[in-house]
Amino acid sequence: MRPRHEHWSLPENTTFKCFLRREKAFDFGWHYHAEYELVLITEGSGTRYVGTTVEPYRPGDLMLLGPDLPHTFSSVPYPTGMAEASVVQFRHDFLGADFFALPQFRPVQPLLDRSARGLLFPHAPEPARRLLTGLPRLVDSAAATVALLDVLNQLARDTDSTPLTGPGYAPTPDTEARRRIDDICRHLQQVHTRPVELGEIAAIAHMAPTSFSRFFHRTMGRTLTDYVNQLRVETACHLLTTTDLPVTEVAARSGFQNLSNFNRRFLRLKHMRPRDYRAAHHRGFHLPSAP
């Protein structure tokens, strides 16, 4: 139930990894690792979980995730498409311990520092996107290294990046606290569409409900109720854009037992009503209603 800690392994001819992840769908694989990770979504859409935040992702999304930041990308299979992302993983010292202290690369260090909360680049330069798309296909490791440095240099000068997770979150060095939070997040991802009781979740952390509520808020920067509602609203967004289910049925399948509460929570998080969200985001075709 805890996130998978990915261990570092490298090809023989380089000091960082780049690869194309292409699958029918991305499974929920909550994990973290010691490396920075650049992710460019090249095909498919779904939900990204980064730290405390649950949001949709779509083709063109470019993100930089800092070391030890728990994350995953989750999607469902589509009959005519794939889930695909170009991924680069590197450590801070992949070119030497003091590389980013060199005068010509000092602008990159603040970028790496800010990635501790994850960064989204909604208007990243097109040359950076092209370089990331092509990186997994480069055979020449020296050329790949130059391309990666070019991408980091461009992103360091991008003034439109936004944090992916809230200001209340920071990767905690407390191993036990991290284990508890990760167990809880994985469990909530599986059960949030049914009624969730505080006592049930507190028991996973082996804590009394009152102590757990304080612990969760302190660690995640939000209440358990707020986090569960965020999960439910994102599930509702998926149903609104991929099925023709009535809004009342979408609310019920997402875990909301009260339609007015669903509408209120949805409006607060998405700044529009569910029907308006469907109209604005509906794909150009109709999929069969969910079974």
pLDDT at res. 172 = 55
Give the pLDDT confidence score for residue 165 in this predicted structure: 86
Residue 197: partners with Cβ closer than 8 Å, 6 or more residues away: none
- pTM (2 d.p.): 0.78
Phi then psi dihedrals of residue 231, to 5 deg: -60, -45
pLDDT string in tens for the chain (291-residue length): 344 445 556 667 789 999 999 999 998 887 888 899 999 999 998 899 998 888 989 999 999 999 988 899 988 887 778 999 999 999 999 999 999 999 999 999 999 999 999 999 999 999 999 999 999 999 899 999 999 999 999 999 998 999 998 765 655 556 777 778 878 888 998 999 999 999 999 999 999 999 999 999 888 878 999 999 999 999 999 899 889 999 999 999 999 999 999 999 999 999 999 999 999 876 543 433 444
| Distance separating alpha carbons of residues 217 and 70, to the nearest angstrom | 17
Handedness of CA 15, 70, 253, 251 (dihedral sign): negative
In sequence order, the 6+-apart residues with CB closer than 8 A to the CB of 53 are 118, 164, 165, 166, 230
Burial label, 244 (beta-carbon count in 10 A; 0-12, 13-18, 19+): middle
User: What CA–CA distance (Å, rounded) separates 144 from 139?
Assistant: 8
